[in-house]
Structure 1
């Protein structure tokens, strides 16, 4: 089988490619240049896509003895991931750029090009498993729960899963580093990248301020009383507690949290932790890793990459997904992805448009 191995320059993708070589496949390595002006070196463990990363990927490919290429996808990445990220925050939503990158870049642009060039599959270093099920290939959680990345892969369709390979899904991370050392790969102890890859210094608010400019507004409580000011709604997300810049404490002395973000009138509404409770979400743009669910289905729902799955019920009607939580949840924000599971199997995902809580619904308000 002809396999295109996406090599980021890190240890995971290098070992994934090496395993494909060991399995006897015809492997070609490719590094995705996603920045039009890459830095020479990483800043600690943050960021990726630097010149150093591309060189690390090339050196790993040389050790394996496989062909290696660099594909320039910087323009596509900026349009589909970076600009989408900025636009979502400008609209008061909380996006996950890793999901968007998997959906639009790694398993759309890259996979489409790979298939057009005659490759059979794309291999990556993601921690997830693809298993054969009664209705085709299924996406499952990785064996290592600490590294599981099935959440950010919940945007993949069954057609894309048919041409995807995740060789690391049955291995824990410490074993991967040991294996890389045995293979003579220089990236064996290279730090993992963290946070958002195109914000190397980790200052998301600063990045958004540079992109959108300051837009001062008011911080108000649920009665509408102004209790603080801010430089831009993009600096907030639902459930946030720190950095609210509130001039005085709540009457009961308890912490306050962001309940609502309104970029139109530049208002951020804060309230008690109890007011964060969400019992129902409505999502759009659903994507299914297999057959779409029919009727109301019992499932587990996850709305953060490293969050805990919670018992839920879900129903799809006319491409609109409604999910009800068995126990009210906190910090659910529009723009987040909600990923549904049946045990370890990923059913699919949708983008949260609205999140309702009993307290807010009783006053005819929705987050």
Structure 2
């Protein structure tokens, strides 16, 4: 229970048919950020307090688990390492895999619980012997992109009671049942960067000289930067270089500590390689007659593509039209209609 309306209503719904235990996670020490507004941050102390109040009103047991060390090792350390490598990670994807549906499933098993349930907007269905992950019906709230790393075993032990509901209906249920969180502001920021200042957070946690050169696509030096982690692919503002035309970050070379800039046209590509792939439904993924689309970030459009297996760990993705700002470290998620077939981490863009 995150202390928000979604997990609160999920608990309320499930209470009708299950013995429900409420659990909140402490994943980060917020004491250094007492001057920050934490209302848009997931898993803050206020959220834990709200979750406890909801659990009390539902008359269900409630526990708080201290997962700070596990979260740091699995999520924060990965976040820092990826940015230093010139990649742009998605910590919510890793948190879902390692913590919410990793450590939490282990905890559920240890206390004899059959399932872990959350307020995610996604659907799990069983067809024959296989489980299928599908988009939530509320297209504005669908969170299936962040869940693609769930495998068959985990899907069999997870419940998403809100997957077939609209957000406004969830809020109405909360209001009708006098849940005090019915109008609570949603969390959007990364939970361990309360002020949403990634570069400062990285500098605070990793010491060193990360400066280097800003060069164009021909290698001509245009200026200097103070850290590759301060830049993302497609960025135009804040480059601090002079040019007679608009320039964008088109690549990041971590080994040489170089930011490469170029024209907007240099950001478009049709082929890239993914690694660390999780294939939920392998047979469907490689059937020739099944149309597949790929999504390279949460808010991006789905683009038709073809997949070729390079080896056990890597896939070659070829899209039917160029995609702008494909970014190493982000997740590429594959869909067939509303079914999530799997996905992987973008390793390399073929130019």
* Fold match by TM threshold 0.5: yes
Map of 1:162-177 to 2, 5 A cutoff?
A: 162-177=156-171
Instruction: Provide the alpha-carbon RMSD of the alignment.
Output: 1.7
Secondary structure of residue in 2 paired with 1:30: strand
Map of 1:262-277 to 2, 5 A cutoff?
A: 262-277=253-268
Deviations 1:161-193 (A, max 9, x none): 101111111112122222111111111111001
Residue 2 of structure 2 is aligned to residue 8 of structure 1: yes
Structure 1 residue 105, shift from structure 2 partner: 0.4
Gaps of 5+ in 2: none
- C-alpha spacing 1:291/1:115, structure 2 compared with 1 (3 Å): farther
* Equivalent residue pairs, number: 346
Q: Normalising by the residue count of structure 1, what TM-score does the alignment of the two structures yield?
A: 0.90
Structure 1 residue 44, shift from structure 2 partner: 5.3
Alignment-derived partner of residue 228 in structure 1: 223
1:260 to 245, 251, 254: 251
Partners of 1:355 and 1:133 lie apart in 2 by 35
- C-alpha spacing 1:32/1:219, structure 2 compared with 1 (3 Å): same
Alignment-derived partner of residue 213 in structure 2: 218
Partners of 1:164 and 1:242 lie apart in 2 by 42
Alignment-derived partner of residue 284 in structure 1: 275
Is the 2:38–2:194 Cα contact (8 Å) retained in structure 1? no
Partners of 1:103 and 1:27 lie apart in 2 by 22
- C-alpha spacing 1:41/1:70, structure 2 compared with 1 (3 Å): farther
Is the 2:116–2:157 Cα contact (8 Å) retained in structure 1? yes
Map of 1:1-367 to 2, 5 A cutoff?
A: 7-22=1-16, 24-38=17-31, 43=37, 45-213=39-207, 214-246=209-241, 248-250=242-244, 253=245, 255-291=246-282, 293-294=285-286, 298-316=291-309, 317-357=311-351
Alignment-derived partner of residue 360 in structure 1: none
Partners of 1:331 and 1:101 lie apart in 2 by 24
Is the 1:36–1:74 Cα contact (8 Å) retained in structure 2? yes
Structure 1 residue 48, shift from structure 2 partner: 2.4
